[in-house]
Amino acid sequence: MRADCYICHRPIDYELKAPHPYSFVVDETIALARGGTLTHDNSGPAHRWCNAIKGTHSLAWARERVAQLITQGKAPQRAAQVSAGPIRCSDWFGGGE
């Protein structure tokens, strides 16, 4: 589908990989913590950064907050290089380091 971010309405570069702040993630419009469901009609494409700002807030709140941060120059730079660092297996899965 290659849709734009439904929070900030800007294009998503689907070639970027996590943890880049502008990489693609699926956001639950109504957060699971607030009673949302893992369904197509409760989700939308988002930038990782926009999704992190939204958290469990409403979509309307997130759109306003992201717009404020962009206007204030507090959004991450799109060309920023992000280093993921070494990948460590979680102890929760019994893998240790």
pLDDT score of 17 more than 50:
yes
Please give the model's pTM, rounded to 2 decimal places: 0.79
Instruction: Note the pLDDT tens digit of each residue in 51-68.
Output: 999 999 999 999 999 999
pLDDT score of 94 more than 80:
no
The secondary structure of residue 25, as a DSSP letter, is E
Distance between CA atoms of 90 and 77, rounded to whole angstroms?
30
The answer to whether the CB of 68 falls within 8 A of the CB of 12 is: no
| Overall average pLDDT of the 1-24 stretch | 95
The answer to whether the CB of 7 falls within 8 A of the CB of 47 is: yes
pLDDT score of 29 more than 60:
yes
- Residue 47 neighbours by CB under 8 Å, 6+ apart: 5, 7, 8, 10, 12, 21, 22, 23, 24, 25
Show me where the domains of the chain are located. 1-82
